[in-house]
C-alpha cells in the first residue's frame, strides 16, 4: 500500500510535464560525471604542490589517465549533459510546449551511450589523450566515437529547441521570441555552427585513423579543426550560465532585466564572434600565418564585448532588485540582496569569479602576452575561474532551485548549500591564484611535476596555495553532493504551490518592436556568422588540407 501510494505520487509529479523527468536525467547524469571528475581534481592540485598521490593510487595507472578522466568528465561530459537538460527545459516551459519526447529521450540515450564508450576507453587505460586529444597521441576508436555521439546527441537537443520555437512562431507570427527561449536558441545555433570542426576532425580523421583505415593524421590540421570548435565550446558552456544570469537571477533578486534588446544584442554578438577566434589557442603553432593570428587576436577582443555588456546589464538588473528591497545609496543595494539564498549566492559568486577569469582571458588573447603564459599553469588557472567557477558554480546554484522544482522534493539544506557555494568559490580563487602565479614562474601545464626531483623547486607559497586549494575544493565537493543526493533521495514531497517555480524574469523593453523583430530573424544572423567564419578560417584550412603531413600515432603510456 505504502509503495503504491509513493509511486502514484511519482506519477503525479511527472504526469503533466514528462519533460521534467528527462531534464532530471540529463542533469543528474552530468552531475555524476562532475562528481567523479571533481574527486580527481585534488590529486592534480597536490601534484602542483609537489605532492604525488598518483603512485599506488587505486584504479589509476598514471597521472595522464587521471588528468584525462578529470578533463573529459568535467569539461566535456558534465557541461554537455547539463546544458542539454537546461536549455531544452527552459524554452519548453517558457513557450508552454512539450518537446517531442521520443526524439529527446533518444538524444539522452545516445549521449549516455557515448559517455559510457568514452569512459570505458579511458578507464581501460587505452586513451590517455587528455580532453584535447591532440594527434599524434592516439586513443581507442571507442573514445572518439563516444565523444562524437555526445556531440551528435547535443545537436539533436538543439534541433528540438529550434523546432519548438518554430512551432511557437507559427502560432504567434507577429510576436518576438520570448527572451529565455531566444537566448537558448541562439546558444544552440552557435553550437551547431561551432561543432562542425570537431565533427570533421573526428569523423574524417581520428576515427578512421584509430580503426587503422588511414595511416596517419596531420597534427596541425587536427589542432586547427579542434580549436575551430574548442574556442566556441567555451561559450557553449558559458551562455547557459548567462541565460540564468539574465533570465532568472534578477528575478531571484526581486528585480527586473533592465534591457531586453541589449540582452539579445549580446547573444547575437556571441553568435557572430564566438567562432572566428580559434587561432588564439594556436598563437605558438607553426603553419598559421601571423597575420591570421593577429586577426583572430583582434576578433577575440570583439567577443569580449558582449561579456562586458553582460557585466553591465546583469549588475544593473541586480541593482533594481536591491533597490526594490529597500537598498539605498551608491552601494547599499548590494548588502540587501538575498545572500541567504544559496541559489542566488552561488550564482553571484560565479559572476564575481568571472571578472577575474575574463581579465586573464584578455592577457591570453594578446598575441604577445600569450607567449609568456601559453602552455603554463596559468592556463588551467584561467579556465578554472571560467568554466570551473563561473559556469560550474552557476550550474550548482541552478540545481538548488531546479532539482526541487523538478522533483517536488525540498532542498536538503539551504545552509549546507551556502557553505558548499562559498567554499567552492574560495577554493577556486585560491587555486587560480596559485596556478596563475606558478604559470608566471614557468611551471608547465599538464606536467607530472611531483614525480620530478630538483626541478620546479621555486615558488613555495604559490605551490602551497595550489595544494591547499585542492583540499578546500574536496570539502566543497562533499558538501555539494551531500545536498544534491540528500535532495534527490528525500522522501518528503512538496505540494505544487510549495515547490519553487521557474523564476522567469520580467524584461524591460525600451526599444520598439521593430528592432526586436529584426533581431528575431535568426536565419540572417546565422548566415552572417557563417560568412565571418568562412573568411576567418577558409584560407588557412584550405592551405592545411592541401599540405598535410600525416604522421603515425603515438602511445606514450
Ligand atoms: Fe578562455 C584558454 C581567452 C573566456 C575557457 N579558456 C582557455 C582554455 C579554456 C578556456 C578551457 O585568447 C584552455 C584551453 C586548453 O586546454 O588549451 N577566454 C579568453 C577570453 C575570454 C575567455 C578573451 N575561457 C573563457 C570562458 C571559458 C574559457 C568563458 C569557459 C567557460 N582563453 C583565452 C585564450 C586562451 C584561453 C586566448 C588560450 C591561451 C593559451 O595560450 O592556450 C573572454 O570571453 C572573457 C570575457 C569576460 C569578461 C568578464 C565579464 C564579467 C562578467 C561578470 C560580471 C559580474 C557581476 C557581478 C555582474 C569581459 C559578465 C556583480 C556583483 C555584485 C555583488 C552585484
Ligand atoms: Cu578560446
Could you please report the per-residue DSSP string of 317-341? HHHHHHHHTT--TTTHHHHTS-TT-
Give, rounded to a whole angstrom, the gap between the first and last alpha carbons of the chain. 56
Indicate the DSSP class of residue 508: P
The pLDDT confidence band at residue 471, using thresholds 50, 70 and 90, is very high
pLDDT in tens, 252-265: 999 999 999 999 99
Atom of ligand 1 nearest to the CA of 318: 65
Ligand 1 atom with the shortest distance to the CA of 131: 16
Q: Which atom of ligand 1 is nearest to the CA of 75?
A: 11
Confidence (pLDDT) at 3 = 43
The x, y and z cell numbers of residue 228, run together, are 575551430
Give residue-wise pLDDT tens across range 313-329.
999 999 999 999 999 99
Query: Which whole number is the average pLDDT over 101-126?
Result: 98
Domain annotation for the chain: domains and CATH numbers: 16-546 (1.20.210.10)
Give dist(CA 456, CA 484) in Å, integer: 39
Mutation probe of ligand 1 site: the residue of 233, 281, 323 with most atoms within 8 A of C-beta: 281
CB 193 within 8 A of CB 228: no
Q: What letter does residue 257 receive in the DSSP assignment?
A: B
Q: From the CA of 233, how far away is ligand 2's center (Å)? A: 8
| CB distance 425 to 393 below 8 Å | yes
Span from the CA of 361 to the centroid of ligand 1 (angstroms): 5
Distance separating alpha carbons of residues 487 and 411, to the nearest angstrom: 5
Average pLDDT (405-426) is 98
What protein residues have CB closer than 5 angstroms to ion ligand 2? 231
Annotate 171-224 with DSSP letters as a single string. H-TTSPPPHHHHHHHHHHHHHHHHTHHHHHIIIIIIHHHHTTSSS-B-HHHHHH
In angstroms, what is the span from residue 148 Cα to ligand 1's centroid? 25
- The atom number, within ligand 1, closest to the CA of 314 reads 58
Q: Active-site positions?
A: 231, 235, 382-384, 445-446
Q: Write down the pTM of the prediction.
A: 0.97
Q: Which ligand is nearest to the CA of 297?
A: 1
pLDDT score of 372:
96
- Closest listed ligand to the CA of 365: 1
Residue among 41, 186, 33 nearest 115 (CA): 33
Cα–Cα distance measured from residue 214 to residue 442, given in angstroms and rounded to the nearest whole number: 38
In the chain, what percentage of residues exceed pLDDT 90?
94
* pLDDT reading at 383 higher than 70: yes
Q: Which three cell numbers stand for residue 201?
A: 576532425
Nearest CA to ligand 1 atom 20: 361
DSSP sequence for 273-287 = HSSTTGGGG-TT-TT
pLDDT attached to residue 10: 55
Using pLDDT thresholds of 50, 70 and 90, give the confidence band for residue 1: very low
DSSP H helices in 386-459: 392-407, 414-440
Residue-by-residue DSSP string for 114-174:
HHHHHHHHHHTTS---TTT--TTB---HHHHHHHHHHHHHHHHHHHHHHHHHHHHHHH-TT
Q: What number does the ligand 1 atom closest to the CA of 370 have? A: 41
Instruction: Give CA angle at 261 (256, 264), nearest 5°.
Output: 100
In angstroms, rounded to a whole number, what is the distance separating the alpha carbons of residues 210 and 439?
34
Looking at residues 443-470, what average pLDDT do you find?
A: 96
Query: What's the average model confidence in pLDDT over 401-423?
Result: 98
Cα separation, 44 vs 53, in Å, equals 9
Mean pLDDT, range 45-65, rounded to an integer: 94
Check whether 353 has a pLDDT greater than 70.
yes
Considering the chain, what is the average pLDDT of its residues?
A: 96
Least confident of 330-344, 475-489, 499-513: 499-513
For residue 267, is pLDDT > 50? yes
Segment 133-152 shows an average pLDDT of 97
- Which residues line the pocket of ligand 1, CB cutoff 6 A? 132, 234, 237-238, 280-281, 300, 303-304, 307-308, 310-311, 314-315, 318, 334, 348, 351-352, 354-355, 358, 361-362, 364-365, 370, 373-374, 379, 382-383, 386-387, 391
Instruction: State the pLDDT at residue 452.
Output: 93
Tens of pLDDT, residue by residue over 337-348, are 999 999 999 999
190-248 residue pLDDT tens: 999 999 999 999 999 999 999 999 999 999 999 999 999 999 999 999 999 999 999 99
pLDDT at 311 over 50: yes
Distance 63 CA to ligand 2 centre (A): 25
State the helix-helix crossing angle for 101-123 and 79-95, rounded to 10 degrees: 170
Going by CA atoms, what residue is nearest to atom 31 of ligand 1? 387
Coil, helix or strand for 406?
helix
Give Cβ neighbours of residue 278 (< 8 Å, ≥ 6 apart): 197, 224, 227, 228, 229, 230, 231, 232, 296, 537
Which residue from 357, 359, 388, 428 has its CB within 8 A of the most atoms of ligand 1, so it is best to mutate?
357
Task: Work out the pLDDT band at 512, boundaries 50, 70, 90.
Answer: confident
Amino acid at each position: 500500500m505504502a509503495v503504491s501510494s509513493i509511486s502514484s505520487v511519482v506519477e503525479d509529479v511527472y504526469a503533466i510535464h514528462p519533460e521534467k523527468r528527462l531534464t532530471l536525467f540529463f542533469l543528474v547524469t552530468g552531475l555524476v560525471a562532475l562528481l567523479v571528475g571533481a574527486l580527481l581534481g585534488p590529486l592534480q592540485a597536490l601534484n602542483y604542490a609537489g605532492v604525488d598521490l598518483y603512485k599506488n593510487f587505486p584504479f589509476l595507472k598514471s597521472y595522464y589517465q587521471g588528468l584525462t578522466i578529470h578533463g573529459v568528465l568535467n569539461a566535456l561530459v558534465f557541461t554537455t549533459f547539463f546544458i542539454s537538460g537546461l536549455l531544452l527545459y527552459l524554452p519548453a516551459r517558457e513557450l508552454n510546449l512539450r518537446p517531442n519526447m521520443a526524439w529527446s529521450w533518444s538524444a539522452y540515450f545516445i549521449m549516455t551511450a557515448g559517455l559510457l564508450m568514452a569512459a570505458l576507453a579511458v578507464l581501460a587505460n587505452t586513451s590517455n589523450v587528455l580532453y584535447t586529444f591532440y594527434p599524434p597521441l592516439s586513443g581507442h576508436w571507442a573514445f572518439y566515437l563516444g565523444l562524437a555521439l555526445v556531440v551528435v546527441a547535443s545537436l539533436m537537443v538543439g534541433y528540438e529547441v529550434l523546432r519548438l520555437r518554430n512551432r511557437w512562431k507559427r502560432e504567434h507570427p507577429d510576436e518576438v521570441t520570448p527572451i529565455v527561449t531566444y537566448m537558448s536558441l541562439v546558444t544552440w545555433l552557435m553550437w551547431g555552427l561551432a561543432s562542425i570542426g570537431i565533427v570533421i576532425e573526428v569523423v574524417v580523421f581520428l576515427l578512421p585513423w584509430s580503426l587503422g583505415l588511414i595511416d596517419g593524421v596531420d597534427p596541425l590540421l587536427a589542432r586547427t579543426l579542434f580549436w575551430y570548435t574548442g574556442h566556441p565550446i567555451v561559450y557553449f558552456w558559458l551562455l547557459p550560465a548567462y541565460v540564468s544570469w539574465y533570465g532568472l537571477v534578477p528575478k531571484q533578486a526581486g528585480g527586473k532585466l533592465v534591457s531586453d534588446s541589449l540582452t539579445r544584442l549580446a547573444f547575437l554578438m556571441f553568435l557572430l564572434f564566438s567562432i572566428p577566434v580559434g587561432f588564439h589557442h594556436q598563437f605558438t603553432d607553426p603553419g598559421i600565418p601571423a597575420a591570421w593570428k593577429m586577426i583572430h587576436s583582434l576578433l577575440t577582443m570583439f567577443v569580449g564585448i558582449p561579456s562586458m555588456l553582460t557585466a553591465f546589464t546583469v549588475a544593473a538588473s541586480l541593482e533594481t532588485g536591491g533597490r526594490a528591497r529597500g537598498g539605498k545609496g551608491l552601494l547599499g543595494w548590494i548588502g540587501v540582496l538575498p545572500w541567504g539564498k544559496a541559489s542566488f549566492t552561488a550564482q553571484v559568486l560565479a559572476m564575481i569569479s568571472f571578472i577575474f577569469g575574463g581579465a586573464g582571458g584578455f592577457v591570453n588573447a594578446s598575441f604577445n602576452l600569450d607567449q609568456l603564459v601559453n602552455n603554463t599553469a596559468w592556463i588551467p588557472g584561467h579556465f578554472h575561474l571560467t568554466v570551473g567557477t563561473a559556469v560550474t558554480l552557476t550550474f550548482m546554484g541552478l540545481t538548488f532551485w531546479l532539482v526541487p522544482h523538478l522533483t517536488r522534493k525540498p532542498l536538503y539544506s539551504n545552509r549546507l548549500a551556502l557553505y558548499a557555494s562559498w567554499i567552492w568559490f574560495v577554493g577556486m580563487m585560491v587555486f587560480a591564484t596559485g596556478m596563475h602565479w606558478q604559470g608566471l614562474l614557468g611551471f608547465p601545464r599538464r606536467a607530472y611535476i611531483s614525480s620530478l626531483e630538483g626541478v620546479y623547486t621555486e615558488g613555495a607559497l604559490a605551490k602551497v596555495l595550489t595544494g591547499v586549494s585542492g583540499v578546500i575544493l574536496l570539502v566543497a565537493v562533499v558538501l555539494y553532493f551531500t545536498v544534491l543526493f540528500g535532495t534527490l533521495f528525500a522522501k518528503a514531497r512538496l505540494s505544487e504551490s510549495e515547490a519553487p517555480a521557474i523564476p522567469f524574469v520580467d524584461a524591460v523593453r525600451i526599444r520598439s518592436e521593430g528592432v526586436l523583430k529584426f533581431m528575431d530573424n535568426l536565419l540572417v544572423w546565422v548566415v552572417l556568422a557563417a560568412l565571418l567564419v568562412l573568411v576567418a578560417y577558409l584560407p588557412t584550412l584550405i592551405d592545411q588540407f592541401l599540405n598535410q603531413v600525416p604522421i603515425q600515432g603515438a602511445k606514450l603510456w
